[in-house]
Structure 1
Amino acid sequence: MKYEIPLVRPYFDSEELEEIKKVLDSGWVTQGPKVKEFEDKITDYLGVKHAIAVTNCTSALHLALISIGVKRGDEVLVADFTFPATGHAVLYCGAKPVFVDVDLKTYNINPELIEEKINDKTKAIIPVHTFGQPAEMDKIMEIAEEYNLKVIEDAACALGARYKNKYAGTIGDIGCFSFHARKGITTGEGGMVVTNNKDLAEKIRNLSVFGMISAWDREKSDELIIPKFTDMGYNYKMSDITAAVGVAQLRKLYKIVKRKRELAGYWDDKLEEIELIEPPYVSENVLHVYQAYVALVDKRINRNKLIEKLMEKGIQTQIGTYASHIQPVYNSKDKCPNSLEIFNRSLALPIYYMLGEEDIDMAAMHLKKVLEDLK
């Protein structure tokens, strides 16, 4: 269906085409110099020592977990309100995701509920920076240090977000980012693993290319290199064509975030004038990058019916994300009532770089009318 106002739209211009042309003209289109350029630009931007470009954030999380030794029989604490890729990455390792409930205001993992889930099998914590708002990392890191646990930040939605002036994804042991089409900047599909730990970085890089030396590293050598496969790695490498889009997109990150924060403020003002819906809460100590603008509808409103009615008006909205513990694949006995409530009440509203205030005015007008009809 074609929407008059879509939920999201990526922002591309001639810069992406120019970068892709450079790669095509070079004759080297798989993982190579453009991936290295993209990785270097990410390390410079975030101020980290190592970045490894991969196929998506799911593979980033998988590699991160393997690199810290998560294996069958282990448990990993996971923020419950998240796209199931987070929990799936734990399953890929043969481990068990243990879901921790979230704060009803921030949608992020509640640090006060973490310790009760820790046992002898627990190896790591995965906080999710939900929709681009960083989790309460100081408390999470304190708990991790006390119990000798690793912290893998699921920063899929949070490139550019800051927690107390530290970039999301750079605070824990490893950070994982996404460049999916709905993220702040996009390469269509793509991901990045970042860390300051050299040993972890080397292991992740090796595992991302079948457990061998990459073709580009072999290409640069003056000698014949026949690689040895030292580990059971994966084909998780990013191509230079994908990285070319990433290089161009990264130059746009600042203005994209700036514009989306302006639009979020405009949405906030509009929702204050509308009954039966609450604008998203933002913590004082963070910079929220609004990968998505996710409000909460009143409990009396059928959120799914609201989405359908707005669809009829040409306005695309969507659920926020998922309460992981209720997904059948996990067979979980965890109880996360806040996550479940947010799952049932959250509404993602249109927000993207080219969206105009007049578009929000129209969407808000229809939203107000539909809410009144549904109450």
Structure 2
Amino acid sequence: MSHSNPAIPLFDLNYGREEKEAVLRVLRSKWLTMGPETEALENEFAGYFKVKHALAVSSCTTALHLANLAVGVKKGTNVICPSFTFVATSNSVLYAGGIPVFADIASTDDWTISPNEIKKKINKKTRAIIVMHYGGFACKMDEIIEIAKHNKIPVIEDAAHAPGSFYKDRLLGSIGDISCFSFFSNKNISTGEGGMICTDNDDYANYIKKIRSHGMTSATLDRHHGHAYSYDVTDLGYNYRIDEIHAALARCQLKKLKKGNERRRLAAIRYKNALSKINKITIPFADYSFSANYHIFPILLNKSINRHSLMVYLRNKGIQTSIHYPPVHKFSYYKTVMGDHILRNTDSVSLHELTLPMYAGITDAQIDYIVDALINFIEGK
């Protein structure tokens, strides 16, 4: 195949006139902090994911922090979580005073947290289990929920990658005791910054509503409308509010989620068909039977391939790639604080994983160009 040399980013925004109009709507309203756009987003999000409560916050990191606090993570408690994730997953445990206990991924094909490893790590100090649906692929939720219920431990879903993905007939983010979504720029719902917490637990929801805004008993909008004239502070809270512009953008993005994910699935099919001809590349989650949103498109390189050299080669061809993820337990800070860990599957996969471009607007021609570049590098052309 012959193609021109396009600049192909790792991700791209699925934006149009709707997002522009949403921002202008907020500016015309002259209300920028948490207000009617936020309330509308929370209602629409709860309806979409079929949960009782959806609470908008400033990021998925702050969502995870609040989720840990809500389920009772504090000093002297442990939280079982993956190391093969973005560092915010485990950082949020430390923010709450807990200790992350890293569990390995299931296999070199299934890069989600292993239920068997979770079971081995549980002890009297375990206060929560965090699962992360890597790339939009569901963790083994039936097994994990059974383990959690048997031990009376709440499950936090890190659903940053997962909006619109399913486990059986349920949307990810609606299965655990509490879940956290990301609206970061590269996510399937993209607003730049922002996040959402979902739960059916009234106690969790009431606590989070309070502490996401300084522990105050009334919001600025309440006082603006005359529903309250003052406030009390009843708990140590945080400034984790979302703003109206990001909320308005998220409302647009939520409406586009289903179609955007379908376009990603079609792109994934084209990638898989083309990459199946390359012996030195493996595509994970080969036996996955549920509907994934393909937040990213990861591949596993043969050990004979120099990943850094390949990334530089692709960059010179105008193709951006990335690594998802350097494992958390290998970071200098975590080695200093928690010592060395051996997670065999995580360690192996993380050395050879490569993330290819994936977004709703990626074209067939771009995918073909990427695959041709991979073939040329591997064949030494």
Coarse TM-score class (shorter-chain normalised): over 0.9
1:348 to 327, 338, 355: 355
Contact 1:282 1:288 in 2 (8 A): no
Aligned pairs for 1:1-375 (under 5 A) are 4-103=7-106, 104-212=108-216, 213-224=218-229, 226-331=230-335, 332=338, 333-373=340-380
> CA deviation digits over 1:180-227, x for unaligned, max 9?
111112011110000001110010111110111221133233452x11
Q: For 1:364 and 1:303, locate their aligned partners in 2 and report how far apart those are by CA, in whole Å.
A: 15
Figure out how many residues of one structure are paired with residues of the other and give that number. Answer: 372
Once the two structures are overlaid, the 10-residue window that deviates more, 325-334 or 69-78, is 325-334
Describe the superposition over 1:1-58 as per-residue Cα deviations: whole angstroms up to 9, x where unpaired. Answer: x971111101100001111111111110111110111111100100001011011111
Percent identity between matched residues is: 40
Is the alpha carbon distance of 1:3 and 1:150 closer, same or farther for their aligned partners in structure 2, counting shifts above 3 Å?
farther
CA distance in 2, matches of 1:99, 1:176: 19
TM-superposition CA deviations, 1:103-127 (whole Å, max 9, x none): 2212100101111111111100001
Q: Deviations over 1:336-369 (max 9, x none)?
A: 1111111111111111111110111111111111
* Letter matched to residue 363 of structure 1: I
Which amino acid counterpart does residue 47 of structure 2 have in structure 1?
Answer: D
Assess, with a 3 A threshold, how the Cα gap between structure 1 residues 147 and 309 changes in structure 2: closer, same or farther. Answer: same
SS at match of 1:353: coil
Residue ranges of structure 2 left out of the alignment (5+ in a row): none
Q: Deviations over 1:233-285 (max 9, x none)?
A: 11000000111111111111011000000000100011011231112325444
Structure 1 pair 235–106 and aligned structure 2 pair: CA distance change class (3 A): same
The CA deviation string for residues 155-191 of structure 1, in whole angstroms up to 9 with x for no partner, is 0010111101111111110010001111112011110
CA contact (8 A) 2:10 2:356 kept: yes
CA distance in 2, matches of 1:282, 1:55: 35
Instruction: Indicate if the aligned counterparts of 1:10 and 1:185 stay in contact, CA closer than 8 A.
Output: no
Q: CA deviation at 1:286?
A: 2.1
Inter-partner Cα distance in structure 2 for 1:220 and 1:158: 36
- Aligned to 2:56, the other structure's residue is in SS state strand
TM-score (norm. length: structure 1): 0.96
- 1:260 and 1:241 mapped to 2: Cα distance? 26
Deviation for aligned residue 1:95: 1.1
Asked if structure 1 preserves the Cα contact closer than 8 Å seen for 2:6 and 2:366, the reply is no
CA contact (8 A) 2:64 2:92 kept: yes
In the aligned structure 1, how far is the partner of 2:136 from the partner of 2:288? 14
Matches of 1:117 and 1:328 in 2, distance apart?
A: 23
TM-score (norm 2): 0.95
Question: For 1:33 and 1:82, how far apart are their aligned partners in 2?
Answer: 34
Q: Distance in 1 between matches of 2:12 and 2:72?
A: 38
Q: Distance in 1 between matches of 2:326 and 2:112?
A: 13
| Cα contact 2:136–2:293 (8 A) shared by 1 | yes
Once residues 223 and 323 of structure 1 are traced to their aligned partners in structure 2, the CA distance between those partners, rounded to angstroms, is 47
